[in-house]
Amino acid sequence: MLLLAGCATTPPGPTPDEVRGEIARRLPATLDDRAGWATDIQAAFAAQDIAPIPENICAVLAVTEQESGYKADPPVANLPVIARRELERRAAALHVPMFALNAALKLKSTDGRTYDERLSKVRTERELSEIYEDLTGRVPLGRRLLDGKNPVQTGGPMQVSIPFAESHADDYPYPIQDSVRREVFTRRGGMYFGIAHLLGYDTPYTRKVHRFADFNAGWYASRNAAFQNAVAVASGRTLALDGDLLTPGAPLARPGETELAVRSLSGELGMDYRAIREAMERGDRLDFNDSELFGRVFALAERRAGKPLPREMIPGITLESPKITRRLTTAWFATRVDERYRRCMVR
């Protein structure tokens, strides 16, 4: 009997219309323009080749709901006071007299109002960012106070980092109107870059809550916090489990606390200081998990602990921002988002 082997074929994925329908179904029923939100999210998935599976859809919706309540340019409570306080802080740090700051803010801006008038009415980060850009471009004191760096560093419906967006704009699928910064404050741009920050990298995690913690604390912060915990167990030292393995810009001769603790294990690990530093420089990459340092530290720590140790932990970080008026942590953020994610998955 002759057996004919058929060619295996990959079943087609969902069509864009089907993906938009699935996203819209999981959006709040009372949300305005659900079709528009679904379109922007589906387009971001397609442009970044991210699978539009329920887990990814719900992760994006959970972060968006937590960060903005589905507002492309969410209002910030007490923003006029926050903005004025930031300018006064910068003026004091530069020994600029208060009368000079007040005089600069009395000047007319590009829309005919004074900067002081605009600051007193500001409601959103987009509006504040535009005021700062105007002030920097037109007023000498503004350039001195802001030093070419706009203090507004997050924006959009997912409150994504603007520096992150600016460094990941090469494949942005829309025409950029004016600047990447301004795109972040639109729904399409804020969702595109927010989705890139949340889902645009591979992780070793088995639970979404650690990806949510990374969204708040930085890529691989949960993996790095677990590594710091293992270093603390192996070395007997107390470390901040913040996910920051290296002090930014620190020379080899002046290591940070985590690196010092790893160095104290140098003999047992069979690695010199330079090899340790080179391995720890991979802390912002997935393949740090495959490094000799990672494997040897966990092996040593688990022998001392007498039990397996976690490979991911929510970083112990207290959130700091002029917008935050109560004590919040990365754990609080990740847990809240995870609760929203689970409710979405049930829907």
Q: What is the pLDDT of residues 40-75, one digit of tens each?
A: 999 999 999 999 999 999 999 999 999 999 999 999
pLDDT of amino acid 3: 43
C-alpha span between 285 and 275 (Å, rounded): 17
Average pLDDT for 136-162: 90
pLDDT of amino acid 5: 42
pLDDT band at 108 (very low <50, low <70, confident <90, very high): very high
pLDDT band at 13 (very low <50, low <70, confident <90, very high): confident
pLDDT at 137 over 60: yes
pLDDT of amino acid 318: 85
Average pLDDT for 224-252: 95
